[in-house]
């Protein structure tokens, strides 16, 4: 199975990169629709709602040629322990407004919280589903045991987590669980937030706090990445393209979210999307990714080194 391509909208708001440009964001969304991308992923916390707003307003401009039913819109709601079901419901309605739509295709709870009862919030999402305001309920960054428990309570249709040549942890438990429960897996950071596409992040960039930049990992990983860039170029692919093609063909991945910030970055990826990697390169990537994985600290459960 080859994954569907979705556009991640995190960078379409200030806060993601210093170099935020609204006109780049608009052009990227327009280029995505024109290249046939139909799944768009955003979140309430991206630019405090500005990403949802920009995506909603731009996608609305295509309504005549690309009606709402042809699009799949996903957003995520960030939960804090004191958020009431009523407050949660009101946030959901806010997302509908910002995205200029009467229903969402997927609404994820963005991050888990330890020892927190999510069932009242899932009941809210179920009521929206029954009212036709939501098609699918999703969980993002949740560990497998919580996903399993919550899926016994209500139908979970999507799970979203990081997955890339550099981060294959979902293969241990998460992907098998999703397969066994019939849950669609949406992969984010398939370019490892750009590390698989370019030279290392500048030191002042917040991405320097990702697990890949830990002092004990950085230099050895840097060497492996240099070799990777050379290798894939001998097959006529750029590092970003090879990383995307690998993730899109990976077993159990339903959707790959690309985080392209500019139209050029997006077209660079869509131009090869759908291609199959040569078998020899696949073998190399398998070995490369396992060696990268061995460098990463086992105790980190996510690429952001985030405790929750
Ligand atoms: N659920 C969650 O917690 C979560 C977490 C992360 C992401 N996501 C979702 O997944 C989406 C994608 O994630 P991501 O931003 O981590 O994705 P990514 O695709 O791994 O990284 C995006 C970065 O890669 C670089 N890039 C993209 N296309 C490129 C190209 N063709 N050539 C060279 N560099 C390229 C850019 O870096 P530069 O900016 O340096 O140019 C861009 O900012 C997000 O927008 C969001 O919707 C969800």
Q: Is residue 108 over pLDDT 90?
A: yes
Q: Residue 27: which pLDDT band, with cuts at 50, 70 and 90?
A: very high
d(CA 261, ligand 1 centre) in Å: 7
Rounded Cα distance, 48 and 26, in Å:
18
In this prediction the pTM is 0.98
117 phi and psi angles, rounded to 5 deg: -90, 105
d(CA 82, ligand 1 centre) in Å: 30
| pLDDT given for residue 240 in this prediction | 98
Q: Residue 201: which pLDDT band, with cuts at 50, 70 and 90?
A: confident
| pLDDT given for residue 203 in this prediction | 77
DSSP string of the chain, one letter each residue: --PEEEEE-TTSSTTS-TT--HHHHHHHHHHHHHTT--EEE--TTGGGGHHHHHHHHHHHTTTTTS-GGG-EEEEEE---TT--HHHHHHHHHHHHHHTT-S-EEEEEE-S--TT---HHHHHHHHHHHHTTSEEEEEEES--HHHHHHHHHHS---EEEEE-BTTB-GGGTTHHHHHHHHTPEEEEE-TTGGGTTTSSPPPTTSGGGGSGGG-HHHHHHHHHHHHHHHHHHHTTT--HHHHHHHHHHHSTT--EEEE---SHHHHHHHHTTTTPPPPHHHHHHHHHHHHHHHHHS-TT--STT----
d(CA 131, ligand 1 centre) in Å: 33
Tell me: the pLDDT tens digits for 45-89? 999 999 999 999 999 999 999 999 999 999 999 999 999 999 999
Q: Nearest residue CA, atom 5 of ligand 1?
A: 188
| pLDDT given for residue 82 in this prediction | 95
d(CA 116, ligand 1 centre) in Å: 29
Give the ligand 1 atom nearest the CA of 161. 1
- Ordered by where they begin, the domains of the chain are 4-199+239-273 (3.20.20.100)
Q: Residue 18: which pLDDT band, with cuts at 50, 70 and 90?
A: confident
| pLDDT given for residue 198 in this prediction | 84
More confident residue, 236 or 200: 236
Residue at token pair 């929206």: 128
Instruction: Return mean pLDDT, the chain.
Output: 96
d(CA 77, ligand 1 centre) in Å: 19
Give the ligand 1 atom nearest the CA of 304. 5
Tell me: the pLDDT tens digits for 233-267? 999 999 999 999 999 999 999 999 999 999 999 99
Q: 119 near 151, Cβ under 8 Å?
A: no
| pLDDT given for residue 202 in this prediction | 81
Residue to mutate (ligand 1; options 188, 190, 206, 238; most atoms within 8 A of CB): 188
| pLDDT given for residue 287 in this prediction | 98
Q: Give ligand 1 pocket residues (Cβ under 6 A).
A: 8-11, 17, 41, 76, 140-141, 160, 188-194, 197-198, 240, 257-261, 265, 268-269
d(CA 108, ligand 1 centre) in Å: 18
């Amino acid at each position: 199975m080859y994954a569907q391509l979705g556009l991640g909208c995190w960078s379409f708001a200030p806060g993601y990169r210093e170099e935020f440009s609204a006109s780049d964001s608009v052009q990227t969304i327009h280029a995505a629709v024109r290249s046939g991308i139909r799944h768009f992923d955003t979140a309430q916390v991206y630019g405090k709602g500005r990403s949802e707003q920009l995506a909603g307003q731009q996608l609305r401009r295509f309504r005549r040629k690309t009606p709402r039913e042809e699009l799949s819109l996903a957003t995520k709601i960030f939960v804090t322990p004191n958020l009431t079901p009523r407050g949660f419901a009101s946030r959901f309605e806010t997302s509908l407004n910002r995205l200029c739509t009467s229903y969402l295709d997927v609404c994820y709870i963005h991050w888990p919280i330890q020892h927190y009862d999510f069932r009242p919030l899932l009941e809210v999402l179920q009521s929206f589903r029954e009212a036709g305001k939501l098609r699918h309920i999703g969980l993002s960054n949740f560990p497998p045991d919580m996903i399993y428990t919550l899926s016994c309570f209500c139908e979970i249709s999507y799970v979203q987590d990081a997955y890339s040549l550099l981060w294959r942890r979902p293969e241990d438990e998460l992907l098998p669980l999703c397969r066994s429960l019939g849950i669609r897996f949406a992969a984010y950071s398939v370019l490892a937030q750009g590390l698989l596409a370019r030279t290392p992040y500048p030191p002042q960039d917040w991405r320097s706090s990702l697990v890949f930049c830990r002092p004990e990992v950085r230099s050895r990983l840097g060497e492996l990445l240099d070799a990777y860039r050379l290798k894939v170029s001998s097959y006529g692919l750029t590092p970003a393209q090879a990383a995307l093609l690998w993730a899109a063909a990976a077993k159990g991945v339903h959707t790959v979210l690309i985080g392209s910030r500019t139209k050029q970055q997006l077209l660079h990826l869509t131009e090869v999307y759908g291609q199959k990697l040569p078998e020899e390169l696949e073998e190399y990537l398998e070995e490369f990714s396992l060696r990268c994985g061995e460098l990463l600290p086992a105790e980190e459960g996510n690429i952001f080194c985030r405790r929750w």
